[in-house]
Every structure is written in C-alpha cells, then in structure tokens.
Amino acid sequence: MAKPTAPVLGAGDTVTLDDAAFGADFHGPLVHESVRAELNARRQGTHATKTRGQVSGGGSKPWRQKGTGRARAGSTRSPLWTGGGTVFGPQPRRYTFKVNRKERRAALRSALSLHAGRDSLAVLDPAPFLETPSTKQAAQLLADWGQPKGVLVVLTDEEAKAALSFRNLDRVSVLPAAAVGVADLVGASAVLASRAALDQLTERAR
C-alpha cells in the first residue's frame, strides 16, 4: 500500500507522510470524545445566578399571615415573585473531563489521516513570508491550491512571523503546532502546515 503524500505548495514537489500518523483508520467515537473534551475545556464556566438567599431585600414579611384574603407570603425574594431568586439556576463549574493519552493520540491520528486521505493536506514553505510578510501573496497561494474556505495554517513558534501574511485572510485560522487540537483539525476544510510544524504534529500523533 502506497504511503500518504502531501504536495508542497509553490514548489511542485511532494512530501511523504508518516504512515503511522497519517495512514490510520478513522475512529469516529474517539474523535467525538476528544472534540467534546477540547470544546468543554474552552468554556469559562463562570455563569452564576442568585438563589433566594443571595438576592438583596425581602427581609420582612410582605403582609400578615392571615386575614388579608391573599396567599400567604414570607418574602418578596421568593422564586415565585418578580425580582426573586432563581431555583436550580446555573452556578460556576468546570466542564472539563479527562481523555486518556492513548485515546487523544488515536483521535489526532484519525483527524490527520482524514485530511491526508481527502488530499486536503499540504505543506507550506514559510521562508518567503518570514522576511517580507505579504497577505496578497498568501491569498494567491491558497487560491492556487483550490481548497474551499476554512483553511487551518499550522506553524511553529519560530515561524510566527509568517502568520502575519495569513491571519487577516477570510476564514483562515493560524495556530502554532503545539496548540492544534482534534477540534481544530476536524473543523477545518483543509490544513496547510510547514515542514517543521508537520514534524511536530507527527511526533504528537505517533
């Protein structure tokens, strides 16, 4: 079976990909679990509502217990009243849950292999963009590639200057290789990575 390859944009060359990281079968349940874990970890969880004990006011009984003809009431901050407390409202919490290391790696392999199998993975030479950033040149490079919008550009920390050429393009996301998750890969229509970033992704997935 032939090893997966990826084209090098602008060079007319191809790169042979690691078969262990880019030739794996797609495992839907693992990918779903990893995406849920990553998206949950991004939630702040700072939402909060006040119970009847936390709402200010309501210290005195609105009217006497008997003789008024109205329903008995002990506080104006009851959940039944306008301006009262909330029953079982959201409170600050953490949404994170653990995914085992082997499962995370398997999910990452599935996402990378999916792009490799769809020919939606390419290699970028960042050298032309490091000295003189050019958004116009970056837009032309992606247009020549012909992939639909929603491209994820992956670079290393040393190639951060090249991100200046891609970050303002419509529906183009730029992330360092260490921060790329399964949710980012699954949500991208195509992935464009430098050779160094590709090596980091390969090392993480193996």
Based on the fold, state whether residues 151 and 163 are members of the same structural domain.
yes
In a domain, 139, yes or no: yes
Q: Which residue has the tokens 């006497």?
A: 64
Which range of residues forms the domain containing residue 132? 8-43+99-205
Cβ distance 181 to 105 under 8 Å? Answer: no
Interstrand relation of 172-176 and 151-155 (parallel, antiparallel or unpaired): parallel
Residues 6+ apart with CB under 8 A from 114: 26, 185, 186
Based on the fold, state whether residues 54 and 68 are members of the same structural domain.
yes
Give the residue from 60, 94, 128 where a domain finishes.
94
Based on the fold, state whether residues 57 and 110 are members of the same structural domain.
no
In a domain, 67, yes or no: yes
Interstrand relation of 13-16 and 5-8 (parallel, antiparallel or unpaired): antiparallel
Cα torsion 121, 18, 9, 159 to 10°: value is: 90
Cβ distance 185 to 191 under 8 Å? Answer: yes
Residues 6+ apart with CB under 8 A from 122: 6, 7, 8, 9, 145, 190, 191, 192, 193
Based on the fold, state whether residues 14 and 108 are members of the same structural domain.
yes
In a domain, 3, yes or no: no
> Between the CA of residue 203 and those of 117, 126, 148, 185, 188, what are the distances in Å?
19, 20, 28, 16, 21
* Residue 9 parent element (H or E): none
CA–CA separation, 126 vs 69, rounded Å?
80
Based on the fold, state whether residues 67 and 153 are members of the same structural domain.
no
- List the CATH number of the domain containing 115: 3.40.1370.10
Cβ distance 121 to 142 under 8 Å? Answer: no
In a domain, 88, yes or no: yes
One digit per residue, the tens of pLDDT, for the chain of length 206 reads 578 999 999 877 899 999 999 999 999 999 999 999 999 999 999 999 999 999 999 899 999 999 999 999 999 999 999 999 999 999 999 999 999 999 999 999 999 999 999 999 999 999 999 888 999 999 999 999 999 999 999 999 999 899 999 999 999 999 999 999 999 999 999 999 999 999 999 999 98
Based on the fold, state whether residues 148 and 191 are members of the same structural domain.
yes
Residue 34, both tokens: 């990893």
